[in-house]
A and B are shown apart, each in its own frame.
Chain A
């Protein structure tokens, strides 16, 4: 299980994905899930657990989630390489592009690119959420929680923490368990 080659493959893949994760890391979650489950490193259930835990801990959620994957694949070194692969490449890109930003601020092509990329980004964010919902919603009650979370998030200004807590409490009370 603690396979250094697997850790490197994972880190290389994460570095590539983080470099193209327009709209944030959630957009590449489906791809990460395919890689790790296809290789048998992490089960669907574990992947969903990593997602849930990283959402309730404050701080850099997606970096942490990828570190749990790395931890499973290659122990502590795996966790550290996964973390760096997740935030390192984008940081370099942020830094260089921030310096170029002023020079190209008002160019029309920049607005064009932004307008063209925005809808793709959004479609990918929703796809990421949908894939996680498909993995997590093993019963109709859980699907209902997902639907309610969407509704409350869109319809109110409630702190999302309360929505997460409600999901956790309903689950803890055993109200969301799939029928045997």
Chain B
């Protein structure tokens, strides 16, 4: 028990197949909350990474474009077994769930015109849209004391929804200003 994760890693390398199936499990369990399952399996169950290593990967992935959970998968695999580990983990995460999901989904979509399925899908998408808005609000909570952060969140929202500007315009128009202001503000705040 006193052995660190680092020491354990030198002794026994994680098998590529273990990475494949580990992240397959993350993928299959992760309805809505993939992150919860990623941490549970990688840190608690398999003890591939410790909490600090996992937190570091999470920060990096949040700061990068793309599906964060795929990034967490890739970086964990890469940390444990290099390029091959990254490929095994991502393949485990995507390959089987994607194939099954596409087949199952296409089957359902063939009957999407049926009133009952239309109603179910309608209710689902209303709820799913609410979950997404709630996730955004959750993410905003740590920043609520920074007024400039709130202003830029509102500006980004308005740019997309009200002004209907393309994403590239919103992102590259606001990012330099937002980063510059964060840079000016941070030395004073600390």
User: Interface residues of B: mostly helix, strand, loop or mixed?
Assistant: helix
Q: What A residues does B122 contact at CB under 8 A?
A: 48, 52, 136, 138, 142, 171, 176
The complex places the Cα of A180 from the Cα of B73 at a distance, in Å, of: 47
The complex places the Cα of A161 from the Cα of B37 at a distance, in Å, of: 14
Q: Are A153 and B143 in contact (CB under 8 A)?
A: no
Q: Which of B108, B127, B156 is in CB contact (< 8 Å) with A163?
A: B127
Cβ of A73 to closest chain B Cβ, rounded Å? 14
Q: Are B136 and A129 in contact (CB under 8 A)?
A: yes
Contact indicator per residue, chain A 117-129, by CB within 8 Å of chain B (1) or not (0): 1111111111111
A9 at the interface (CB under 8 A from B): no
Cβ of A101 to closest chain B Cβ, rounded Å? 5
The winner among B30, B101, B161 for most chain A CB atoms within 10 A is B101
Q: Are B102 and A64 in contact (CB under 8 A)?
A: yes
Known: A115-B182, A116-B182. A126 touches B137 (CB 8 A): yes
Q: Are B32 and A160 in contact (CB under 8 A)?
A: yes
Cβ of A93 to closest chain B Cβ, rounded Å? 6
B154 at the interface (CB under 8 A from A): yes
Q: What B residues does A150 contact at CB under 8 A?
A: 130-131, 133-134, 137
Contact indicator per residue, chain B 90-127, by CB within 8 Å of chain A (1) or not (0): 10011001101110111011001000100111111111
User: Interface residues of A: mostly helix, strand, loop or mixed?
Assistant: helix
Q: Which residues of B contact A (CB under 8 A)?
A: 27-33, 56-57, 59-71, 74-75, 78-79, 83, 86, 90, 93-94, 97-98, 100-102, 104-106, 108-109, 112, 116, 119-140, 143, 146, 148-157, 160-161, 164, 166-168, 170-171, 174-175, 178-183, 186
Give residues 98-141 of A contacting B (CB, 8 Å).
Answer: 98, 101, 109, 111-133, 135-138
Q: What B residues does A25 contact at CB under 8 A?
A: 66-67
